[in-house]
Amino acid sequence: MTKPQDDHTARVIPDDAMSADAESMWNVRRAVGGMLIAIFLLAIFNSEGFTIYARDLPGNAFSDMVVAAADQWNELMTDLGLTSIAESIREAFLNLKETQW
């Protein structure tokens, strides 16, 4: 049994807590990695969303830079044809949605 340095409740944590911590941190890395990959995928395939977000930021020198960078990135993704996937999905969905009786 080890006494944790930070414990203010005088709780004693068994040694296997260390392995629980290791497991937690492994899962944290997995989750953070997953979130970063998800953001990266959105940045590639939905780059227009970033330009919209950037334009909604309060106007200042920094947000101007962000807007310029987001626009450039969006242009690049559009030129590469990567944004067309989201557009195709949206178009197909809207066609389906507009179906009438």
Partner 1 sequence: MLFPTFDFALFFLVVFTASWLLLRWSEPRKAFLLAASYFFYGYWDYRFLALLALSSTINYFAGIALTKLEADHAKRKVVIIGVALNLLILGFFKYYGFFLDSLTDILLAAGLERDLPFLEIILPIGISFFTFQGISYVVDIYRGQIKAVASPVELFLYISFFPQLVAGPIVRASHFLPQLSLRPVLDKTAVIFGFLLIISGLFKKTFISHYLAVELVDPVFFDPVSYGSIDILAAQYGYAVQVYCDFSGYSDIAIGAAALLGYKFKRNFDRPFAATSLVMLWQRWHISLSTWLRDYLYRALRGPKRDSGWRMYKNIFLTMLLGGLWHGAAWTFVIWGAIHGVMLVIERLVKGRFHAYVKRREKAPASGETGSVGKALKGYISFWAGWFFTFHVFTVATIFFRSPDMETATAFFDKMFNWQGSLELFTPFMMVLIVGALAVQFLPGNLFERAAVRFQNVGMVTLGALLGGSLLLIEATGPEGVAPFIYFQF
Q: Which runs of consecutive H residues, i.e. helices, occur in the chain?
A: 16-45, 47-55, 61-79, 84-97
Query: What tokens were used for 48?
Result: 């227009």
Would you say 43 and 73 are in contact if contact means Cβ atoms under 8 Å apart? Answer: yes
Per rule CB under 8 A, is residue 13 in the interface with partner 1?
yes
Q: Which range touches partner 1 (CB under 8 A), out of 12-20, 64-72, 73-81?
A: 12-20
Count residues contacting partner 1 (CB under 8 A)?
A: 46
In the complex, the residues that contact partner 1 under the rule CB under 8 A are: 4-9, 11, 13, 17, 20-21, 23-25, 27-42, 45-46, 49-50, 53, 86-87, 89-90, 93, 96-101
